[in-house]
Structure 1
Amino acid sequence: MRPRSFRLGLLSLGLAATTLMASTATPEQASPDSTRQLTQAAASGVGPVFSATDRLARQVAGALADPATRDRLVAAVTAGPVDLLTARLNARTDRAAQSANAAVLAAKGLPAATGSVLQLRLGHQDVAAELARTERPLVAAASTDDAMTGVVAYEPAGAQLLLDPVRLPERPVLVVEVNVAKAMQRGLAQVRQELTARRLTSVTSAVTTQGGYWATKVNAIRLNNDQESWVKGSAEIFNIVGGTGLDGKATVNIVEMPHLDNDGTVYYPNQLLVHFNNYKDNLADVVMGEDDGDTNYRDLATALITALLTVVDYGTYTPLVTVIINAIINAMPASWWTHDPDYVDSWYTLSTGSSGRLNGAAANGWMDVAPYWVQQF
């Protein structure tokens, strides 16, 4: 399960109540109603990334019609996610994987040098034993839509099934998805590079004349349960930490939290989140987001730069969310907030004295923090 995504109040709950569960048997000729349901379910995840991965999922399913290919892939995916650009399923599927990967890189604003960002994984680890016994695994693409009403899965023979997005299907499903960990690492590096070029981010290696500086350390953190779909993988969390820089201009730093895989779980990262040597004021804000698969990092960098350049130092502290995030919302198309990056939560006015449990402003999680003195080397 993944951390809860608010999508600025647009998240629709009650998925199970509105979803039709497909039979695990081979479906008969689709009725007009079931055809409409399949079309609507597929459309719910539409975006350039989902469109590419959904087309590839159909191709991968077709390749599994060959018993030798199926046995080889099942053995590989049971051991862990499989890179689809090196899976070597068949010539047609390999070409489709190359085309899909190029489309995903373009949609996420990543350079071609990023390489492969597409992988195949088990829909859920609990189906590994069943996968070894079945001759007919299904293949589906990971949707980026929290409000999906169904998961469209493909049979090796080409038929489509509509699966419940909340309840685990009885039949094993292989999921075509973006390797978000790799994409986010490369994408955020690109964001940092562009922010640095505009002098809108700080280098945390500087120290004060006192021989060090204060930071805020996260001792423990928890995000709330959301009952999201089984078809989605682990979260990839990042934080935008910002305030007024030493030069009086707005500045942000990007801090990743790769350990935050699951909601409803307490993690103890002992991670430094805010480095106060970067800020003129003794205050900073944190906005937490997650990459759901569709994040365009070029657009994210542009939005941050556009927002930060509008911030003026009035000599007083101004909350990051009030100024920067509102400016980002105004600068970006609505689809950016409909899909990615998800807004998870915010923490305002952290200071060198912040200590104890801090609840997020969106009530979606908490952090236990403490001051930490970073010694000069």
Structure 2
Amino acid sequence: MSRSRTRRGILAAVAAVALLTITAGPATASPAPSAPPAKGAEVTRIEEQVARDLARSLADADWRARLRAGADAGTAQLGPLASGSAAPAARDLAAGVAAADRRIAAAKGLGADLGPLLQVQLADPAMRAALDAGVAPLVAAATADDHARTITAYDTAGRSHLLATGKVPDRPVYLVDLDSARTTAAGLRVLGAELARQGIDLPVARPAAPAAAAAGWWATKVDAVEVKDDEEPWFKGDAEMFALVTGFGLDGKVRVDPVDMPYLNNDGTVYRPNQILVNWSNYKYNLADVVLMEDDGDTNYQALATAIAAVLLTIADQGAYIPLVNAVLSAVPASWWTDDPDYVDSWYTLARTSSGRLDGAAANGWLSVSPYFVEQF
């Protein structure tokens, strides 16, 4: 889906998230050991190369028509679309796209068996009229940078064209982007497993129920949620949001529960997911923190888990709840705070009894929550 209709990226300021002062004091941590560096903008570079190769391949009229048919319905997986075409240009492209998919999986710290990751879409539905009129399309890699004033697109000769981001181009543009729903779901599995390996006691899946005597467990349910932003640029690629719920487990050790929130598609839109956010049977105290993040494409989940674990493992249970948001944010590699940050917003001291609207600390979103008892059958 086009970013003119679906805006999954969120521009969030993180310059000053205030510490919440409580009796036990805020969480502090000694400097984390150096984590393996993330791949930086490796995914972006791969997408740029594929966009250039796709543009050149569209000199083949048959393949260009096939791409048009595949992308007319919305977003299409680029690799299968190319490999299913009989056009020589498409077959050559398919091999390069398959290799790019594998490189992206490696750059994001994911397994090699995810299948097709790159997808293609028309940047705006209004561009179909120009395609009908025979206007040759350009191809660009969707960018995660909200501040970009121009993006680079390529024509069938491989020449670059700078396109202003302030308005939808008159010429049709195909965007190459990630299937971020797939990469984020896989990434959260990697994040959970890696945190457990690093010493954060985290089951990959939540237990179905606590002790039988309880006949169920209390949860915090997200009744409604909204994230804010003023822009819906046409050039943005898809991004997926997820929450990191942090607190102290029953064993007194810090725990982190990743929660996928793939429905957060549009900024300025209220969603009512009725989603379980916190399973309180997993936590020692009646309080937890929530950090909302997004995968803007270049997120490396193994590096993120390593960085978070290195900081959280230095925090000991002091016999009272300690807020952990700042510890999580301090663990995120500094390079991730450039351009479009992965951080969206955070909520301190969410309680089992919390209900109603809760504004985020960065004023970039709000949650409406309620206690919910999950009965055991």
TM-score, with normalisation over the residues of structure 2? 0.84
Q: Is 2:194 the partner of 1:200? A: no
Equivalent runs, 1:1-377 vs 2, <5 Å: 1-6=7-12, 8-9=14-15, 47-86=41-80, 87-88=82-83, 89-197=89-197, 198-202=199-203, 203-208=206-211, 209-326=213-330, 328-329=331-332, 332=333, 334-338=334-338, 342-377=342-377
Structure 2 residue matching 1:189: 3-state secondary structure: helix
Paired residue secondary structure (2:231): coil
- Cα distance in structure 2, aligned partners of 1:125 and 1:302: 41
Deviation (angstroms), 1:94: 2.4
CA distance in 2, matches of 1:222, 1:235: 16
**Which whole-Å CA distance do the structure 2 matches of 1:168 and 1:74 have between them?**
19
Q: Secondary structure of 1:368's partner?
A: strand
Work out whether residues 357 and 368 of structure 1, in 8 Å CA contact, stay in contact via their aligned partners in 2. yes
Which letter does structure 1 place at the counterpart of 2:235?
V
SS where residue 286 of structure 2 aligns?
Answer: coil
Distance 2:128 2:43 in 1: 27
Structure 1 gap segments, 5+ residues each = 11-45
> Partners in 2 of 1:59 and 1:246 — Cα distance?
53
Query: In structure 2, how many angstroms separate the alpha carbons of the residues matched to 1:135 and 1:69?
Result: 15
* Counterpart residue identity of residue 8, structure 2: R
Larger fraction in helix: 1
SS of the equivalent of 1:114 reads: coil
1:78-100 Cα distance to aligned partner (Å, 9 max, x none):
12322222223434322321332
The one-letter amino acid paired with 2:210 is V
CA RMSD in angstroms, aligned pairs only: 2.0
Q: Over residues 253-307 of structure 1, what are the superposed CA-to-partner deviations in whole Å (9 max), with x where a residue is unaligned?
A: 0101111101010111011111111110000110000011111111112122222
Give the deviation of 1:160 after TM superposition: 1.8
Q: Percent identity?
A: 46
Superposed displacement of residue 9, structure 1: 4.1
Measure the CA separation in 2 of the matches of 1:153 and 1:147: 17
- The 1-side partners of 2:125 and 2:232 are apart by 16
TM (norm. structure 1) is: 0.84
* Of 238-247 and 223-232, the range deviating more from structure 2: 223-232
Q: 1:342-373 CA deviation, whole Å, 9 max, x = no partner?
A: 10000111111101111011000111111111
Q: Match of 1:34?
A: none
CA distance in 2, matches of 1:339, 1:105: 22
Q: Which amino acid aligns with 1:47?
A: A
How has the CA–CA distance of structure 1 residues 3 and 55 changed in structure 2, closer, same or farther, with 3 Å as cutoff? closer
Whole-Å Cα distance in 1 between the matches of residues 357 and 130 of structure 2? 43
Q: Hey, what's the Cα distance between the residues in 2 that align with 1:96 and 1:48? A: 16
Q: Distance in 2 between matches of 1:248 and 1:133?
A: 66
Deviation sequence 1:102-138 (CA, Å, 0-9, x none): 3212211112112221111111233234333334011
Cα shift at 1:228? 4.8
Which runs of 5 or more residues in structure 2 are unaligned?
1-6, 17-39, 84-88
Deviates more, 1:116-125 or 1:258-267: 116-125
Q: Relative contact order: is structure 1 or structure 2 higher (C-alpha 8 Å, sep ≥ 6)?
A: 2
The offset of 1:252, in angstroms, is: 0.9
Q: Which amino acid aligns with 2:293?
A: G
Task: Tell me, in whole angstroms, the C-alpha distance in 1 between the residues paired with 2:347 and 2:14.
Answer: 16
